[in-house]
Amino acid sequence: MGDTMSLEGTASRELCDPSWPAAVLDHLDTLTAPRAALLKQRLHHQFPLLRSNLQQVYGQHAGFDAFLSAVLLQAVHSAAQRDDELWALDVAREARPAWLHDGLVGYCAYTDKFAGTLQGVAARVPYLQELGVSYLHLLPFLKAGQGANDGGFAVASFDEVEPALGSMSDLRALCRTLRGAGISLCSDFVLNHISHDHAWAQAALRGDERYIGYFHWLHSEAAVAERERHLNQVFPGTAPGNFTWVPERQAWAWTTFYPYQWDLNYANPAVFADMAAAMLNLANHGVESFRLDSTGYLWKREGTDCLNQPEIHHLLQALRCLCAIAAPAVVLKAEAIMPTRELPPYFGLGPVQGPECHVAYHSSLMAAAWLSLSEGDASAVHEVLRNTPDLPEGCAWLSYVRCHDDIGWNVLRPELAALGSDPGERLAQASRFFAGQAPGSRARGAAFQASDTRAVHGTNGMTLALAGLPADGDGSPEAALAQMHLLYALAFFVGGLPLIYMGDELGQDNVAQAELSARQGPDGRELHRPWLDEAALAQRHDPASMAGRCFAMLSGLVRQRRAQLPQGAPIQLRALDSGRPSVLVLQRPQALGVFNFGASPVPLDLAALNLGLTEPALTLAPHEALWLRLPDTRADQPDRAEQAQA
Q: What is the pLDDT of residues 35-81, one digit of tens each?
A: 999 999 999 999 999 999 999 999 999 999 999 999 999 999 999 99
Q: Where are the domains of the chain?
A: 22-81
Average pLDDT of the residues in 215-224: 97
Average pLDDT of the residues in 358-383: 97
What strand order describes the sheet that includes 625-629?
A: 574-576, 583-588, 591-596, 625-629
518 pLDDT band, cuts 50/70/90, is confident
Beta-bridged to residue 585, according to DSSP, are 576, 594
Counting residues of the chain whose pLDDT is more than 90, the rounded percentage is 87
Q: Output the pLDDT for position 638.
A: 44
What's the number of CA atoms in the CB half-sphere (13 Å) around residue 644?
Answer: 30
The type of residue at 251 is A
Q: What are phi and psi of 188, to 5 degrees?
A: -70, 140
Strands 217-218 and 251-254: antiparallel
Average pLDDT of the residues in 149-176: 97
The whole-angstrom separation of Cα 92 and Cα 214 is 37
Helices and strands of the chain, counted as H and E runs:
22, 23
State how far the alpha carbon of 62 is from the alpha carbons of 50, 66, 587, in Å: 18, 9, 54
Q: Is there a contact between 345 and 352 (Cβ–Cβ < 8 Å)?
A: yes
Active-site positions? Answer: 293, 335
Tell me the chain's radius of gyration from C-alpha atoms: 25
Beta-bridged to residue 499, according to DSSP, are 106, 400
Residue in 249, 236, 289 with CA at minimum distance from that of residue 524:
236
- Output b/e per residue, 223-258; b: 16+ Cβ within 10 A: ebeebeeebeebbebebebbbbebeeeebbbbbbbb
> Does the pLDDT at position 13 exceed 90?
no
Q: How many CB atoms lie within 10 A of CB 388?
A: 19
443 pLDDT band, cuts 50/70/90, is very high
> Does the pLDDT at position 454 exceed 90?
no
CA angle 631/635/640 to nearest 5° reads 95
The whole-angstrom separation of Cα 141 and Cα 158 is 10
Q: Is there a contact between 161 and 142 (Cβ–Cβ < 8 Å)?
A: yes
The whole-angstrom separation of Cα 422 and Cα 339 is 16
> Does the pLDDT at position 469 exceed 70?
yes
> Does the pLDDT at position 9 exceed 60?
no
Q: Which of 233-247, 272-286, 602-616 has the lowest mean pLDDT?
A: 602-616
Average pLDDT of the residues in 569-584: 94
Q: What is the pLDDT of residues 609-638, one digit of tens each?
A: 888 887 788 999 999 999 999 886 443 444
Q: Output the pLDDT for position 613.
A: 83
Q: Which of 187-201, 435-449, 468-482, 515-529 has the lowest mean pLDDT?
A: 515-529
Strands 106-109 and 289-293: unpaired
Q: Which of 169-173, 184-188, 628-632 has the lowest mean pLDDT?
A: 628-632
> Does the pLDDT at position 389 exceed 80?
yes
> Does the pLDDT at position 266 exceed 80?
yes
Reported residue count of the chain is 646
Average pLDDT of the residues in 578-605: 96
Q: Output the pLDDT for position 612.
A: 81
Q: Output the pLDDT for position 637.
A: 42
Task: For residue 195, give every residue at least 6 positions away whose Cβ sits within 8 Å of its Cβ, in sequence order, or none.
Answer: 144, 145, 149, 154, 155, 156, 201, 260, 261, 262
Q: What is the pLDDT of residues 229-244, one digit of tens each?
A: 999 998 888 899 999 9
Average pLDDT of the residues in 122-141: 98
The whole-angstrom separation of Cα 534 and Cα 519 is 20
Q: Could you give the residue ranges of the DSSP H alpha helices within 96-232?
A: 111-115, 118-123, 125-131, 168-180, 199-205, 209-212, 221-228
Q: Is there a contact between 346 and 313 (Cβ–Cβ < 8 Å)?
A: yes
What's the number of CA atoms in the CB half-sphere (13 Å) around residue 17?
Answer: 13
642 pLDDT band, cuts 50/70/90, is very low
Q: Is there a contact between 330 and 312 (Cβ–Cβ < 8 Å)?
A: no
The whole-angstrom separation of Cα 487 and Cα 575 is 16
* 223: Cα separation from own chain's centroid: 34
Q: Is there a contact between 630 and 611 (Cβ–Cβ < 8 Å)?
A: yes
455 pLDDT band, cuts 50/70/90, is low
Q: Output the pLDDT for position 14.
A: 66
- Its pTM stands at 0.94
Q: Output the pLDDT for position 450.
A: 60
Q: Output the pLDDT for position 6.
A: 38
Q: Is there a contact between 383 and 421 (Cβ–Cβ < 8 Å)?
A: no
Mean confidence (pLDDT) of the chain:
93
The helix/strand/coil state of 591 is: strand
> Does the pLDDT at position 640 exceed 50?
no
Q: Is there a contact between 585 and 552 (Cβ–Cβ < 8 Å)?
A: no
The whole-angstrom separation of Cα 589 and Cα 577 is 17
**Where does residue 160 rank: exposed (0-12), middle (13-18), buried (19+ CB within 10 A)?**
middle
Q: Output the pLDDT for position 11.
A: 43
Residue in 269, 216, 278 with CA at minimum distance from that of residue 246:
216
Q: Output the pLDDT for position 238.
A: 85
- Output b/e per residue, 490-499; b: 16+ Cβ within 10 A: bbbbbbbbbb
> Does the pLDDT at position 3 exceed 80?
no
Q: Output the pLDDT for position 178.
A: 98
